[in-house]
Amino acid sequence: MPDKRYHYTECGLDHVFLLNGFERNSSPRGRTIAIRDIDALHRAIGEHLSRLGKALSGRELRFLRQEMLMSQATLAHLLDVSEQTVHRWEAEKTSCPRAAEALIRRLYLEHGNAADETLRDALRRIADREDALDRKQELTFALSDGSRAEWALAA
């Protein structure tokens, strides 16, 4: 008896099987598969991976990064690692540290919610400040004019 599930490897993951939401068709070029609402399917896969209790595989990390439309260079910048490090994690040449993995999961869960991009923005600001420090640029602070004396990085 043939398997009624569809082994959905097109997402780059080996362990995704669809029970429904797809149609098998025949065309002059052979058999085809039509998947309904592929965006929602990818969101469901991404949310599942982000909530998993086990460590993510390299392919799972790549899936989450690509779903966020992020390059390896952008993710590396946000996590303050080299692009080669992200590549090694995804190729499973080295393991991704738990703290970095937790941030990647959180970034994925927040990435589609424009009002909730505070984590990504904070990581980008930190990375940008560290880049500025690495380039030996001056950081200028100013005392705010508010009722409490607070120092802030000047624009």
pTM for the full model?
0.73
> Rounded CA gap, 74 and 86, in Å?
10
Confidence of residue 141 (pLDDT cuts 50, 70, 90): low
Same domain, 83 and 104: yes
Task: State the Cα angle at 58 between 62 and 54, rounded to 5°.
Answer: 110
Q: Does residue 28 lie in a domain region?
A: yes
Same domain, 96 and 118: yes
Q: Does residue 6 lie in a domain region?
A: yes
> Rounded CA gap, 119 and 39, in Å?
23
Same domain, 56 and 25: no
Confidence of residue 53 (pLDDT cuts 50, 70, 90): confident
Same domain, 57 and 115: yes
Neighbours of 122 (CB within 10 A): 11
Same domain, 51 and 26: no
**Over 50: is that where the pLDDT of 138 sits?**
no
The total domain count for the chain is 2
Which residues sit opposite 153 in a β-bridge?
141
- Over the stretch 70-86, which tens digit does the pLDDT of each residue have? 999 999 999 999 999 99
Same domain, 55 and 131: yes
What's the confidence (pLDDT) of residue 153? 46
Domain that holds residue 3: 1-36
Closest by CA position to 144, among listed 130, 132, 155? 155
What's the confidence (pLDDT) of residue 35? 87
**Over 80: is that where the pLDDT of 60 sits?**
yes
> Rounded CA gap, 94 and 84, in Å?
11
